Homo-oligomer: A and B are copies of this chain.
Amino acid sequence: MKGYAFLEKGKIGFVEKPIPTCGKKDAIVKLTAIAACSSDVHSVQMGIAPPNLIMGHEGIGIVTEVGEDVRRIKPGDKVIIPAVTPDWSEKEIQYNMHQHSGGQLKGINLSSYEDGLYAEYARIRYADMNLALLPEGMDLKSAVMVTDMMTTGFHGAELADIEFGDTVVVIGIGPVGLMAIAGSKLRGAGKIFGVGTRPKAVELAKEYGATKIISYKEGDIVEQVMEITDGNGVDRVIIAGGGIDVVNQAVMMVRPGGTVANINMYESMEDIPISCPAWGFGMAHKTIKGGLTPGGRVRMEAMIQLVMAGRVDPSKLVTHEFKGIDKIADAYNLMVEKPKDLIKPIVWLE
């Protein structure tokens, strides 16, 4: 089969590989749609994936084969594949940290340790625990978007400890930040300030619930937030984009007792600086959190419920569509080039 794989630092391309074999607890899924993700771009540019590893971890498909221990999923099932597909037999499961099952970040297996979804077929481990059934009538673009963008953005809102009426800043309004805005609204935020500039993103930020847009181009964002809030700062900050300095900006603009929730992956080996006075010299109860989205079946079902109930429409994130496996390269390149009107590209594989 064909796959689009990491070749060497900075290089990605098509490879030919056998269709994966199915282990006892696995399912083989024929992919029907995938989305390109900027985290693949980072992996490729940093050269951190194993050579020849097929990239991609956002997709849906049809099950073609299941292992002998699989009880719930069966061939022919249309399924949604979460970006995070943990090993459900490790001790971290028992303290509710499946994202790190088997070790830090080990829950995100596809495109990190095993062949991912930029391919005709993929093997999904722990099929019963990881695959969610695609409900009849669900919009397929939304189905692809829940696997990573929506669940990640919504995890930002969860981490942020939002209470009814809170003022929330979402830094970065790419696809994850847009979903963090939608998620904040659905956790009860009052005012939501989106930080970003691209017109398409700004438009969607407002549709998803932002009450105000703050632009880097109009001055320091911390100063802007402090001015708008009469010097009080905001209750919660979700970081969904930016370099390592953004953490400090978040700490500066959050009030004592507030929360900074990070869902942004920093590709850096350096130190993240936290201003000692802004952090109240250690005494301000400004909590700093950050983590990988939950995955697995039940998480996907929760996201699906929200979409099916009409609480959020993640399909609006899809600004570009392609057809055919060869077009994965085009979709990927869009994520590299990030044209102004891009939020998220999807590739239909059948």
Name A residues whose Cβ lies closer than 8 Å to a Cβ of B: 24, 69, 71, 88-89, 91-100, 103-105, 128-129, 154, 158, 163-167, 183, 185-192, 211, 239, 244, 247-248, 256-257, 262-277, 279-292, 296-299, 301-306, 308-311
Contacts and interface: CB of A to CB of B under 8 A. Distances in A.
A261 B280 CA distance: 14
22 contacts: A94-B98, A94-B297, A94-B299, A96-B257, A154-B164, A158-B163, A164-B302, A165-B301, A186-B187, A188-B306, A189-B311, A191-B305, A211-B309, A248-B271, A262-B282, A266-B276, A271-B275, A271-B276, A274-B274, A280-B290, A283-B291, A287-B289
Given A89-B129, A188-B186, A272-B273, A165 B290 contact: no
Contact of A286 (B187, B285, B286, B290): B290
Contacts of A303: 164-165
Q: Most chain-B CB neighbours within 10 Å: which of A98, A265, A277, A290?
A: A290
A167 B279 CA distance: 26
Contact of A283 (B105, B167, B191, B284): B105
Contact of A94 (B105, B129, B271): B129
A165 to B, nearest CB: 3
Contacts of A291: 280, 283-285
A277 B310 CA distance: 36
